[in-house]
Amino acid sequence: MIQGGNRMAKTSSYPVLVLCGRDRGRRGMLDQLDPDNIYPSKVLLPMHGKPLLEWQIEALQASPYVRKLYLIGLQEDDYPFSPDIQIIPFETASSIQDKILAGWNAISGLDDDLEHLVISTADAPAITTSSINQFFSALEQNQDADILLAGVPEYITDREIPDHKRFIAKFTDKPVHIGEMGALRGQSIPILVNEIESLTNWARQLKRLDGNVKTSSVLSFLAFNPSLTLKIFQYFSRRPELIRLMYKYYSGSLSLPEFERIFSSYLGLELRVTIIPDAGFGMDMDLAEDYQKLSDYLTRTKLTVV
């Protein structure tokens, strides 16, 4: 675990891949927010006078660490983008792993010296340049990391955005939820692409369980769901490190450093997590109700004149 810092002595700059789209499977949310089917993606929904993603783009462009923005998942005619933003044409509803791989192939072809692909979502309008700089500072200090994730402390988001409904990783030392930026070493991306789909499918199953559930309750749940139990057995029989990780997590004994260590061993890659103490860094729009929560939070933060 590393703490996001503010070291700015020597500033490198990076291209950033901004992930857009993936709305086909979430049409129910857009049916509520966009009943007339005006917007091709949730990131183009208006919020306080501009599209959702524009708030995030402005924060990214204001960072000295950001060299160029590449958007994937939207088309050129979806929105009048600034000329300094490059669109990578790709299917809007494609999977995250396909977008990451296509983004890496496109960007690395333009930058031979690129080691890490920095990734940002496009539906976190409350993200700030200050927090973006903290993430990049952590990347600068951890160039040996194959995967750099960001964790937002639970208590901060609970305080700023009550009833946020983010999934909280209940580590013993620091409960966090995932932030809206990450970095992947280019050489690790093919490995990760092969694993993301399996892990994503497994995560969908885990959403049926409460993050605070005890091990005994998990076993009872699985006992009454034999098909799910079989899938889990097949998956984990090939991944013993994950068996250990999941047991420790659901028994309430997994710390964040242990998670980094075990997951790194499982992937054969170096995983690091940096802590970003900013609710806006980890609040995206997964649910229709998130729209109003984000709008209210923007009113209290970016729209408040100090």
DSSP-derived 3-state class of residue 44: helix
pLDDT (tens digit per residue) in 22-80? 655 556 788 889 989 888 889 999 999 999 999 999 999 999 999 999 999 998 888 88
CATH 3.90.550.10-classified regions of the chain: 2-186+269-300
pLDDT confidence bin for 100, thresholds 50/70/90: very high
pLDDT confidence bin for 9, thresholds 50/70/90: very low
Q: Is the pLDDT of residue 142 over 80?
A: yes
Find, among 54, 100, 119, 42, the residue nearest to 286 by Cα: 42
Find, among 62, 61, 57, 65, the residue nearest to 5 by Cα: 65
More confident position, 115 or 113 = 115
The number of beta carbons lying within 10 Å of the beta carbon of residue 110 is 11
The number of beta carbons lying within 10 Å of the beta carbon of residue 238 is 8
DSSP letter (8 states) at residue 169: B
What is the arithmetic mean of pLDDT over 241-256? 87
Strand 116-121 relative to strand 271-275, pairing:
unpaired
Please state, in angstroms and rounded to a whole number, the distance separating the CA atoms of residues 202 and 199. 5
User: Would you report the helix, strand and coil content of the chain in percent, each value rounded to 5?
Assistant: 45, 15, 40
What is the arithmetic mean of pLDDT over 287-292? 92
pLDDT (tens digit per residue) in 222-242? 666 666 666 667 766 777 887
Report pLDDT for 25: 54
What is the arithmetic mean of pLDDT over 89-109? 89
Please state, in angstroms and rounded to a whole number, the distance separating the CA atoms of residues 196 and 175. 23
What is the arithmetic mean of pLDDT over 172-194? 91
pLDDT confidence bin for 280, thresholds 50/70/90: very high
Report pLDDT for 215: 46
Which helix (H) or strand (E) segment holds residue 149: the answer is strand 147-153
Amino acid letter, 3? Q
Could you tell me where the DSSP H helices lie in 207-281? Answer: 215-223, 226-236, 240-250, 256-267
pLDDT confidence bin for 3, thresholds 50/70/90: low
Give CATH for domain 2-186+269-300.
3.90.550.10
User: How high is the mean pLDDT of the chain?
Assistant: 84
